[in-house]
Amino acid sequence: MPSPEMRQAMVTAPLGDDVFGDDPTTNKLLELAARKMGKAAAAFVPSGTMGNLIGIAVNAQRGQELIADADSHAFFYETAGAAAVCGVQIRPVHTEAGVMTPGQVVEAVRPRDDPHEPITAAITFEDTHNRHGGIAWPLDALRAASDAAHAQGLRVHLDGARIFNAAIALGVDASEIAACADTVTFCLSKGLACPIGSVFCGSGDDVLEAIRWRKRLGGGMRQVGVLAAAGLIALDKMVDRLAEDHANARTLAEGLSEMDGLRCDLSRVQTNLVYFDVESMPASKFADECTKRGLLGGATGARSVRFVTHYGIDAADVQSALKICEEVLSD
Ligand SMILES: Cc1ncc(COP(=O)(O)O)c(C=O)c1O
């Protein structure tokens, strides 16, 4: 949920028309966002999904292929948008923990001289990796995978929906992570607490093409400064506090791992996401029972549940959450 300061800024933001590129609040946000990602330019998009779709469209042509982790958001949760909208086929690669090795990258690239196979144009990495527990790629591993992709002539898109969580977990600047990619999308919503919005960043030409795609998708928004105003506060005030979410997630995960009937792999709890398995009942029942008691989480598989810590959840809330879980398990 947006902070009171965000809500206030949304009310008073100076506005223009971002479709004409003259919304002053949006322009201020885009300048800051591009700087934070170390890219030349940026465009405001309504969602991470649209940002990724545009990332695919900008980096691959119709009839070409894009490599992605089999558990990536782009492959798993974006309604086959790459195929349906861009005419791009995704080649899924199964990874150990969301981290693709240079060998896996090279192996997934099609031979250029075989006319039976599509041309591999691009690859997308996800950092932090949602379905792999919110892990942050070790920077060396991301650089190695990205270098391998570039050496094969691929374009690299980074789904950095939670790039600032990765940066905080690794103790590096977000631009060091973004430097591994040609284009990057990050979300102002999610942990940064904005009500709506993501930002697509890349070179000037990439962003021009992104804006063309955004228009095609109906994502050009007019006085979007009302949202960008919250985004400015997110980048200014909400990044450093992500460390609190990580600490809360850790406490939550440790508590869950001690409960009979639950299994939580603590090595995967590196940021603000806590995935765990429920052994004694279906995950959906566990999540429903928690919801009835005011604890919101989601079943992500037959046995798997995801909790997320974020702005508005403090250490006392974590203790209440643990009590509720105990109650549900013992009912
Ligand atoms: C890794 C990742 N990428 C992209 C998205 C899509 O973001 P949005 O919900 O804003 O479309 C999500 C959403 O959960 C995500 O977890």
What tokens does 29 get?
Answer: 């946000």
Starting at the edge strand that comes first in sequence, how are the strands of the sheet with 273-278 ordered? 262-263, 273-278, 304-308, 298-299
Each residue's pLDDT tens digit, 74-104: 999 999 999 999 999 999 999 989 999 999 9
How far is 174 from 127, CA to CA, in rounded Å?
A: 11
CA 82–ligand 1 middle distance (angstroms): 15
Helix%, strand%, coil% for the chain, nearest 5:
45, 15, 35
How far is 300 from 226, CA to CA, in rounded Å?
A: 33
Atom 5 of ligand 1, residue of closest alpha carbon: 48
Mutate to test the pocket of ligand 1, among 73, 272, 300 (most ligand atoms within 8 A of CB): 73
- The percentage of the chain sitting over the pLDDT mark of 70, rounded to a whole number, equals 100
Stretch 292-317: mean pLDDT: 97
**Local confidence band at 255 (pLDDT 50, 70, 90 cut-offs):** very high
Mutate to test the pocket of ligand 1, among 126, 129, 130, 157 (most ligand atoms within 8 A of CB): 130
Atom 7 of ligand 1, residue of closest alpha carbon: 48
Q: Between the CA of residue 196 and those of 17, 64, 212, 216, what are the distances in Å? A: 17, 31, 21, 20
H helices of the chain, where?
A: 4-12, 24-37, 48-59, 73-76, 81, 102-108, 139-151, 163-170, 174-178, 204-216, 225-237, 242-257, 283-292, 315-330
With CA atoms as reference, report the closest residue to 303 among 278, 269, 271: 278
CA 239–ligand 1 middle distance (angstroms): 18
CA 98–ligand 1 middle distance (angstroms): 15
Atom 8 of ligand 1, residue of closest alpha carbon: 48
Stretch 276-298: mean pLDDT: 97
Mutate to test the pocket of ligand 1, among 69, 125, 131, 159 (most ligand atoms within 8 A of CB): 159
CA 47–ligand 1 middle distance (angstroms): 7
Stretch 134-159: mean pLDDT: 98
How far is 25 from 19, CA to CA, in rounded Å?
A: 13
Q: Tell me, what's the pLDDT at 318?
A: 98
Whether the predicted pLDDT of 187 surpasses 90: yes
Stretch 270-284: mean pLDDT: 97
Ligand 1, CB within 6 Å, residue ranges: 47-49, 52, 73, 126, 130, 159, 161, 187, 189, 198
Each residue's pLDDT tens digit, 102-129: 999 999 999 999 999 999 999 999 999 9
CA 146–ligand 1 middle distance (angstroms): 21
Q: Tell me, what's the pLDDT at 331?
A: 86
- The percentage of the chain sitting over the pLDDT mark of 90, rounded to a whole number, equals 99
Sign of the four-CA dihedral 79, 84, 86, 91: positive
What tokens does 72 get?
Answer: 């990536």
Question: What's the mean pLDDT when you consider all of the chain?
Answer: 98
pTM: 0.97
Stretch 219-233: mean pLDDT: 98
My answer on whether omega of the bond before 128 falls inside 30° of 0, hence cis, is yes
The angle at the Cα of 1, spanning 132 to 250, to the nearest 5 degrees, equals: 40
Q: Tell me, what's the pLDDT at 24?
A: 98
CA 121–ligand 1 middle distance (angstroms): 23
Whether the predicted pLDDT of 176 surpasses 90: yes
Q: Tell me, what's the pLDDT at 15?
A: 98
Backbone angles phi, psi at 127, to 5 degrees: -150, 115
Mutate to test the pocket of ligand 1, among 76, 77, 164, 227 (most ligand atoms within 8 A of CB): 77
Each residue's pLDDT tens digit, 30-56: 999 999 999 999 999 999 999 999 999
Amino acid at 1: M
Q: Point out which residues pair with 115 in neighbouring strands.
A: none
CA 116–ligand 1 middle distance (angstroms): 34
Residue 49 Cα: closest atom of ligand 1: 11
Q: Tell me, what's the pLDDT at 114?
A: 96
